[in-house]
Amino acid sequence: MTDKTDNGKTHPTETLKRTLVKTISYRVIILILDFTSIYIFTGKIQIALGFMIVSNVYTTIGYFFHERIWDKIKWGKISN
């Protein structure tokens, strides 16, 4: 998928599927890091799991919309 730029060239546009896969893969890494760091600080699995679940629900949604907004910004994209 591509969009036309002001000079008539095209730049790649990210598909919804790609954004979703990127979001999920990023969140898996963050889940692991969140759990590990909270567990190290507290030594309690329940607290680490609770924090991990709550924080990753709203940050996943935020990341998804962040990616979609940035995909619409033409600045910094290079067309082949």
Instruction: Report the pLDDT value the prediction gives residue 27, as an integer from 0 to 100.
Output: 85
Confidence (pTM) = 0.60
Task: Give the alpha-carbon dihedral of 76, 78, 79, 80, to 10 degrees.
Answer: -170
Scanning the structure block, which residue is given the tokens 């000079």? 7
Q: What is the pLDDT of residue 80?
A: 61
Residues 6+ apart with CB under 8 A from 61: none
pLDDT, one tens digit per residue, over 23-72 is: 889 889 988 999 999 999 999 999 999 998 898 888 889 988 998 898 88
- pLDDT of the residue at 22: 87
pLDDT of 6: 55
* Cβ-based neighbour number of residue 51 at 10 Å: 17
**Residue that wins the pLDDT comparison between 78 and 69:** 69
Determine contact, residues 20/61, Cβ cutoff 8 Å: no
